[in-house]
């Protein structure tokens, strides 16, 4: 038991370990909160809700079609994308799509008036994950890291 505690303390105090543990915490909590409080309800709501979500983007850029399609993509990024972010699997790609969704949500709230802070914070977190990646404690690291070849 004492050895496990020393190992955890060593990971936290190690400069590289701190970054990787920080990315793990950021990914897991962001993914969990996004999925639980936003993604699940939107992806299971169906086409009526997706159409309303899609209007956010199409009204912003002046397109008068594909509302359901864009709403479904936003719901998918907030549900499946957030699960992938939490797991650290395809993190940069998932973060990019969620960042785009949060940018549209932020702009909608700014232009129409409303509380835009939460969407902005999620967007900034996704931007950080796009730049930093998922870290050592992720499925991305396990499956996609470049291994040294020994000849």
**Residues whose CB is less than 8 angstroms from the CB of residue 107 and which lie 6 or more positions away in sequence, other chains included:** 60
* C-beta separation of 47 from 68 below 8 A: yes
**Is pLDDT above 70 for 148?**
no
Q: What is the per-residue pLDDT for 81?
A: 97
Cα distance between residue 64 and residue 151, in whole Å: 59
Give the pLDDT confidence of 76-87 residue by residue, as tens digits. Answer: 999 999 999 999
The pLDDT mean for the chain works out to 90
Residues 99, 119: Cα–Cα separation, whole Å: 9
What tokens were used for 3?
Answer: 């050895």
- Would you state the pLDDT for residue 33? 97
pLDDT at 36: 97
Listing DSSP states for 129-151 in one string gives HHHH-S-SSSHHHHHHPPPPP--
pLDDT in tens, 126-147: 999 999 999 999 999 999 887 6
In sign, the C-alpha dihedral spanning 118, 124, 129, 135 is: negative
* pTM, rounded to two decimals: 0.84
């Amino acid at each position: 038991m004492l050895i496990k505690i020393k190992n955890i303390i060593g990971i936290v105090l190690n400069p590289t370990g701190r970054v990787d543990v920080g990315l793990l915490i950021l990914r897991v909590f962001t993914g969990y909160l996004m999925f639980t409080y936003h993604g699940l309800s939107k992806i299971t709501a169906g086409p009526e809700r997706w159409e309303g979500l899609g209007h956010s983007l199409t009204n912003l850029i002046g397109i008068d079609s594909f509302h359901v399609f864009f709403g479904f993509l936003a719901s998918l990024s907030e549900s499946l994308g957030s699960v992938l972010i939490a797991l650290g699997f395809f993190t940069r790609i998932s973060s990019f799509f969620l960042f785009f969704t949060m940018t549209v949500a932020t702009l909608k709230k700014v232009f129409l008036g409303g509380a835009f802070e939460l969407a902005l914070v999620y967007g900034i977190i996704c931007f950080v994950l796009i730049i930093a990646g998922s870290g050592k404690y992720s499925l991305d690291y396990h499956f996609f890291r470049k291994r040294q070849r020994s000849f």
